[in-house]
Amino acid sequence: MQKYFSDLKDRLNIIWEMIVQNAKVSGEKMEENANFKLNELKLSIGDYVYLQRTLTGQGRKFQPLYDGPFVVNSIPSPHLIKLRDPSGKRKLKSPVHINRLKLAHIRAPDPQNYLVQVPQQNPVSTSSDSDSESSQHEINTEQDIQLQNDNPTPLRRTSRVVQKPIRYRDENFLSEISSCDGAQEKIKRILAKKPHGSSFLCLVQLIGEPAQNAKWKPLSELPPKAQELIIARPPPLV
């Protein structure tokens, strides 16, 4: 019986040592992960930073992630930073954690341009120099005008092609009025038909014309599509 208790005690001690060792390894791993995500931002008083916002309400996807910029007012601890609004419109009483901050690079409002060289002008200029320059300028102007007159700029002609409306592009519904001018007309509907010898005359209304101006035309002079329409839907016989 005593041997059983001693063996059980040894096994429990081994299990306890394994638990302590695993807890130590797990703690080291957690510390390593936390240090890996640690914000290594080093701030000093007077730096400009952006503050991460807490998104609320609708449309969080389109809300800005950061607010600011703000100025570092004081650093009470390595992790807490007190900020102030440079415009003085908002007051930030409580400090914020350093993980919510991002360094802002603010440029000077009117930086002086040191690289541009200002051209220096001659303080004294004689009247003879000014007269010669003005005469030379007039000569150059006259030469430019003469060149423009000799080589006028060609006018740009439009390349637009005027096309007929779509209703006049269908050859099956077009019929020539006269062969001399090549004018064409399009049939809107066939109002009636009457016998004429061995064939028929059709009362045809043209597009753009009222029904009172309908014309009688032989069936043979109608376009193919109009003849098919007469066979499919015969007009009234008068």
Which of the residue ranges 54-58, 59-63, 106-110, 178-182 would you say has the lowest mean pLDDT? 178-182
Helix (H, G, I), strand (E, B), or coil: what is residue 165?
A: coil
pLDDT at 148: 57
pLDDT at 180: 38
With beta carbons less than 8 A apart as the criterion, state whether 51 and 66 touch. Answer: yes
Rounded percentage of the chain residues whose pLDDT exceeds 90: 6
- Bin 46: left if φ > 0, else alpha if -120 < ψ < 50, else beta: left
pLDDT: which is higher, 166 or 235: 235
**DSSP one-letter code for 77:** S
- Residues in CB range of 172: below 8 A, 6 or more apart: 223, 224, 225, 226
Q: What does the mean pLDDT of the chain come to?
A: 76
pLDDT at 181: 43
